[in-house]
Structure formats: C-alpha cells, structure tokens
C-alpha cells in the first residue's frame, strides 16, 4: 500500500512469494523504485525488508509502523507515559497559557 502525491491510498504492487526474504523484498523495492518516487517505507519491523533496503542503492527514509510499535509492551508503556505527560501541558488557547 502507498499514498499517491494527492494523498490517496493505493495498492502499489502485489508480490506472491513463498517467504519474506531479502531477495523477495529486493525485487519488490526495485519494481517500486522504477515506477514511483519512493520517499518513505513504513514497515512492521521485518528484518528482511530492512536488510534489502540497506543493501540496495535506494535512498529512502524508513519508519516503523506506529501501530506495530505500540503493540510492543515496553514501547506501549513509554508511549502512554509520553502521551499523558503531553496532555498535562497547557496548549495555546487553553486557560492559563500565554
């Protein structure tokens, strides 16, 4: 899945493979790179994809999917703490803020 330049979700490609390995991800990356101007890859922490990106000449930003990241118990605790701290600070327009 991806986003078009207009911000519309679109299926960019479909790959049928026996396993999620570096070669399969490499093939996918090259096909996507040839068709689109890849700027960001958001993934669920698949090591084979990260390895394929690292070994390729493709320069693309990477981000772990926040939904998958939050599913990690340790990360969930930290994110919940950060969110509660952020909510305790006044924002512009709220009473008591400059």
Specify if 55 maps to a domain: yes
**Residues 52 and 76: beta-carbon distance below 8 Å:** no
CB atoms within 10 A of CB 12: 15
The mean of the pLDDT values for the chain is 80
**Does residue 61 sit within a domain?**
yes
* CA pair distance 9, 6, nearest whole angstrom: 9
Q: What is the pLDDT of residue 92?
A: 66
pTM of the model: 0.60
Domain-embedded: residue 14: yes
Q: What is the pLDDT of residues 47-64, one digit of tens each?
A: 888 888 888 888 888 877
Give the mean model confidence (pLDDT) for residues 64-75.
70
How many distinct structural domains can be found in the chain? 1
Domain extent for 73: 2-88
Is residue 54 assigned to a domain? yes
The per-residue pLDDT for range 34-50, each reduced to its tens digit, is: 888 888 888 877 888 88
């Amino acid at each position: 899945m991806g986003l078009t330049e207009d911000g519309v979700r679109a299926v960019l490609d479909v790959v049928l493979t026996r396993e999620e390995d570096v070669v399969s991800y490499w093939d996918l990356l090259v096909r996507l790179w040839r068709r689109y101007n890849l700027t960001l890859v958001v993934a669920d922490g698949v090591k084979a994809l990260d390895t394929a990106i690292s070994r390729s000449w493709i320069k693309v930003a990477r981000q772990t999917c926040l939904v998958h990241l939050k599913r990690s118990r340790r990360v969930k605790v930290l994110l919940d703490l950060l969110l509660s701290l952020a909510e305790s600070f006044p924002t512009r327009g709220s009473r008591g803020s400059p």
